[in-house]
Chain A
Amino acid sequence: MDKNMKILIVDDFSTMRRIIKGLLHELGFNNIEEADDGNTALPMLKAGNFDFLVTDWNMPGMTGLDLLKQVRADARLGKLPVLLVTAEAKREQIVEAAQAGVNGYVVKPFTANTLKEKMEKIFERIATVAQG
């Protein structure tokens, strides 16, 4: 994984953003920006050449799932890797997120290792698809 890649963290709780940011720092990523819901995140994504999106699902304003749908519907952002990090743990919700085109799904509470594993897996798959 490219340690210089630009990452956007979207969560309505500042403490959760701080935790994810801290974990990403530990993993060696330092090019990180934050947004507190989909409505703030979307213009940032459109303007800012992000390489990776980590988002919560349940947020006031625009939810993470709606943000994901907007990203997938956008011609330029369409292929942006998206990781959902959420407390939503119902099977039908995971299926819904998968159908909306999410790249990874982490349930809260989670560990640094889970986050790392999922990110690695996402970039592995992207590399495989790019080669094939």
Chain B
Amino acid sequence: MSVPDSRTQEYLARARELVSQIEAGNIERADELLDALSGLRESKLFQDLGKLTRTLHEAISNFQLDPRLSSLAREEIPDARERLRYVVTKTEESANRTLKAVEDSIPLARRLSQRATEHQEQWERFLRREMDVQEFRTLTHSLREFLSGIIADSTGLSRNLSEVLLAQEFQDLTGQVINRVIQVVQDVEDGLVEMVRVCGSRIAPPQPDNRHAPSKLEGPQIDPTKTGVVANQDDVDSLLSSLGF
């Protein structure tokens, strides 16, 4: 403050006069000057309070005026919740469809392999001329059945594989939905950052975060390079072996 403003000059003038009046022993006049000085200070206080109130009022009205924020709270967040539920449902449906197709396929593949092995053994016996006419006749009938069995089972396998393929359609849909939700989260973040910027000096400093108790379950780790997180099964194994497992 190199150039004193008018208020400072006024303070100075009155203070100087106050000192000289006291030195002159003029107590009555000194009292008047003291009253004038405290009057000056109070008016400054009221001005500051007025400014503060106006800033606060403007900040609050700005928030009320921002339609984006109220629509976020009223519509988009409940909507995001619904969308995420949809993702859960779709992925679950897909998992069940895929699992059913795979579970239906495993016995087909096993039966094919088992019956092929049986016929291969018989066929080798025939090639080694260890088979009489009657046995060969039985083998030809059995082969005929086996061939139509192959057709039926492999058709079934193809159908199940197509089902697995179709069950992956969820990825496109859930991908789009999740991208929309990411956008909503981004908007909320922007709104919060703006609020902190406006009210920043009036918000208490953050308290230390105690929420990370050791037993808090976090589910899948998205970033395996994070400290305190194992990257894969090998890391788990080496950690356990260091503990004597």
Binding site for B on A (CB under 8 A): 14-15, 18-19, 22, 25, 57-58, 63, 65, 87-96, 98, 104-108, 110, 114
Contact = CB atoms under 8 A, between A and B. Distances in A.
Contacts of B185: none
12 contacts: A15-B99, A22-B102, A58-B219, A65-B215, A88-B217, A89-B229, A89-B230, A90-B218, A93-B214, A94-B230, A95-B239, A107-B230
Interface of B: 92, 95-96, 99, 102-103, 106, 214-215, 217-221, 224, 228-230, 232-233, 236, 239-240, 243, 245
Question: Which 5 A/B pairs are nearest by Cβ-Cβ distance?
Answer: A15-B95, A87-B220, A58-B217, A89-B221, A92-B214
B94 to A, nearest CB: 9
Among the interface residues A22, A90, A92, which one has the most CB atoms of the partner chain B within 10 A?
A: A90
Contacts of B245: 98, 104
Given A90-B218, A98-B240, 18 more contacts: A15-B92, A15-B99, A19-B99, A22-B102, A57-B217, A58-B217, A63-B217, A87-B221, A89-B221, A89-B229, A90-B221, A90-B230, A91-B228, A93-B217, A96-B215, A104-B245, A105-B240, A110-B233
Contacts of B214: 92-93, 96
Given A15-B96, A98-B243, A87 B219 contact: yes
Contacts of A96: 214-215
Contacts of A114: 233
A104 B239 CA distance: 12
A93 B243 CA distance: 13
B91 to A, nearest CB: 9
Given A91-B239, A98-B240, A22 B99 contact: yes
